[in-house]
Chain A
Amino acid sequence: MKKLNKGVSALASKPEMGVVLPLIILLAVIGCVNSNFFAPANLIDILRSTSYTFIIAAPLTLLMISGGMDLSIAAATALGCVVCAWGIADFHIGIIPSVLLALAAGAVVGLIKAFLVVKLDLPAFIITLGLTKIINSFILVTTDGIAVSNLNNNAFKQLGQGKLGSVYWTIIIAAVIGICMHILLRSTRFGREVAACGGNRETAKLAGINVARVRFTVEILVSVFAALCGVCMCSRFYSGQPAAGSGTELTIMASVIIGGTSMMGGTGSILGSFLGCLLLAVINNGLVLMRVSTNWQNMIFGIILVISLFIDKYRRSKTGGGL
């Protein structure tokens, strides 16, 4: 019994635990109600939708650990999607230059954001909200709100629609990104610098860390990967959608928080963020399978978000985490 208790408290001390429990319960419930849920094709589908959010959530985890936040991720996704389509359909510059152009557009967004938030020390919430409005409006003005189609490039379809065996390329891309981000966070000097910046900026600076450079890097990283997500969507929809990713900024941030990343910075994990994204996808998928209206989706997600913060608080009280 003692051993079990010890095991439970060791598990409870993992920051990802806030999401694991609801996830297991949900899997069990949906699996019992509908046996099709565990069909390989369905699981692949869930992973496929997870991959799109996770491509952004993984670098966003780093940003939030460094003490930042970003509402402009969805706008950067749309921008990446549209710019990539322009490259292929309008500029006829081929796949790789188009993708690079889209990533560069993301980098520019990231650079502007980093300049305002880090260099000028303006509040991230308002700045990224403003950036969202500016980018969305820019896209609407330049596209008239109409999707950029006539890509006429079947090879480009591979990225979002193609598979390796039975696994979509986007899943593989997301997995590679996740593993890289995990290693970056856990095993590199940079990862430590990120955690120190979020944990206590003054302390980090006095310890010789170039706080501004670290924060600049993660800000840009997030926007570039958001644009990459847009590129994948461009391929999947086979068009540049002006509304790609719209409305997902808060759910992606919530997925990261559900995964145990502290809103105050300092701690968090990539695995947790993956589980958070997975949870969201499972809810969506489960509701469809159970023929429940998708209008319920956000309510369930919201309830789990609240519960996971309860679990997080309990965990902190167990480990004396304070606050």
Chain B
Amino acid sequence: MSEILLQMRNVTKRFPGVVALKNVNLELHQQEILGICGENGAGKSTLMKVLSGSYGASEYEGELLIHGTPVRFTDVHDAQAQGIEMVYQEMNMMLDASIAENLFVGNLPQRRGFVDYKKLYADSAKLLAQVHLELDPRMPVRPLNSGQMQLLSLMRAVAKKPKILVLDEPTTALTDQEVDVLMEILAQLRQSGVSCLYISHKLEELYRICDRALVLRDGQTINSYPISQVSRKQLIEDMVGRKVENMYPKETHPLGREVLRVEHLTVPHPNIQGKNIIEDITFSLREGEILGIGGLVGAGRSEALGAIFGQYTHGVCKQVFRDGKPVRIDSPRDAIENGIGFITEERKRNGIIWMLSIRENMAVANLKKLSRRIFMLPRLEKKQVSEQMDVLRVKAPSMETKLVQLSGGNQQKVILGKWLMSCPQILFVDEPTKGIDVGTKADFYQIMSDLTKQGVSIVMVSSDMPELIAMSDRVLVFAGGRITAELHRDRDEITDTAIMAAAIQS
């Protein structure tokens, strides 16, 4: 086997209250593509931030060695000086600068103190030809689609002639042909002596391009092996296999009639034009049921909920039936009037109003209920808010406390309170416990259980596998815009491996 290029030894990274990486070990050989796999939150991105210098050497424990020599990075520049380049999942392009300027940002070719545009455009054209993009390097980046941009950000890293290239889910925005191009480039790079770290959920890709695979789970190195010697089943088990602690107070009870049916839901992709992220799906929800929705990040689960709720309407096709009757939902207002509530994934972006108080935040979805004609009813408002604060055990000095002063868990409780005040019959929850401490998590599950007992139905999108398995009566798995599995609790079908297997089908 070829020489070892990079070693990461016993890397431990702590965040306040959480250990994100525990004694992780990684070896990368010369001319090798190492696949890094694991569930969402297994520590892959954190590990790559350690490698890329985003976390300086003083912020974690452990050692980095390149060619056997220990190195200490204080920032990204140090890592780049050692030939480590990242291709990020999120595209960070200067949209109105030219393709060439984007490709060579930070190392524009110069001649006598001025930018050498002739060389810049010639070099850019060469890079574009390598990825089969027939584009003028002088044109701005804005009109390009996300797949083209993703290839550009790859070539931007390649242009710096790295020794180690790190790719984080590089294919999420790519079409099949573009994936082929990517694979071709990676194979060429390997040939020319570059090593790659390739983070992906997609097993197909790992088997296609990688030499070895490293599995992370809960911040620990679980296994590493040549990919040709490991079965898919083994790989999935290593990724998900963990014992589920009993923090889930799930009680099964007989389910009632159908309260919601969604037929032929089609949702356009938010970033890629002409592509649908959800393609003609149909499902139903029964009274008192928790319907879990599993799948990978980017499978369109949040978009599906948003489209049903009326958050997105552009290009959305759907037929919605409430209690068997067809209803029109063209805006969140319509959804609320039909007894639906929606706790979104991104609390900061569209959940809380940080400069307003708990009272004002909870009232915001219930203004009609808390007012007579045009005037608010302050006494009713205070009574209802304080009831919710008691039930949900919101920890705050008073209901006038601003949301910005609360912890993430308490903010999430306020959002929950806002929707509970509207007495919904159906609650959509999207990653309800993301970034929330364990204690509050347990509170949340208890509340969800209690709600279903009272006949409320819940649709829960979750990437937290134990939560999905423990709480759901039924799980739908989304992949490639479709429902690839429907798993029932009463048939004991809801398992890690069944969900994972369906999620990586494409």
Contact = CB atoms under 8 A, between A and B. Distances in A.
Contacts of A320: 402, 404-405
Interface stretch (B135-143, B172-180, B244-252, B345-353): B345-353
B74 interface: no
B305 to A, nearest CB: 11
Contacts of B506: none
Most buried by B among A191, A200, A206, A262: A206
A189 B367 CA distance: 6
A209 interface: yes
A66 to B, nearest CB: 13
Interface string B350-364: 111111100010011
Interface in A157-207: 187-193, 195-196, 199-200, 202-207
A260 to B, nearest CB: 12
A321 B402 contact: yes
Contact of A199 (B355, B378, B405, B418): B355
B165 interface: no
Interface stretch (B32-40, B369-377, B470-478): B369-377
Nearest to B350: A202
Given A205-B332, A206-B342, A207-B418, A189 B371 contact: yes
B367 A192 contact: yes
Contacts of A40: none
A262 B332 contact: no
A262 B374 contact: no
Nearest to A200: B353
A266 B402 CA distance: 12
B364 to A, nearest CB: 5
Contacts of A205: 311, 331-332, 350
Contacts of B378: 187
A267 interface: yes
Interface residues of B, number: 33
A192 B333 contact: no
B163 to A, nearest CB: 41
B368 A207 contact: no
Assign chain A's interface to a size class. 20 to 34
A54 B328 CA distance: 44
Most buried by A among B360, B367, B374, B404: B367
A192 B352 contact: no
Contacts of B351: 203
B26 interface: no
Nearest to A196: B364
Contacts of B356: 195-196, 199, 266-267
A210 B352 CA distance: 17
Given A189-B376, A199-B356, A200-B350, A209 B404 contact: no
Contacts of B364: 192, 196, 203-204, 207, 209
Contact of B350 (A203, A264, A321): A203
Contacts of A191: 376
Most buried by B among A205, A208, A264, A319: A208
B442 to A, nearest CB: 26
B367 to A, nearest CB: 5
A207 B351 CA distance: 9
B336 interface: yes
Contacts of B337: 208
Contacts of A209: 333, 364, 367
Contacts of B311: 205-206
Interface string B322-340: 0000000001110111000
Contacts of B402: 319-321
Contacts of A190: 374
B150 interface: no
B436 interface: no
Interface string B294-312: 0000000000000001010
A192 B370 CA distance: 11
14 contacts: A188-B371, A189-B368, A189-B371, A190-B374, A191-B376, A192-B360, A195-B360, A199-B356, A203-B350, A205-B332, A208-B333, A210-B333, A266-B355, A267-B355
Nearest first, the 5 A-B pairs at minimum CB distance are A199-B353, A202-B350, A207-B365, A208-B333, A208-B336
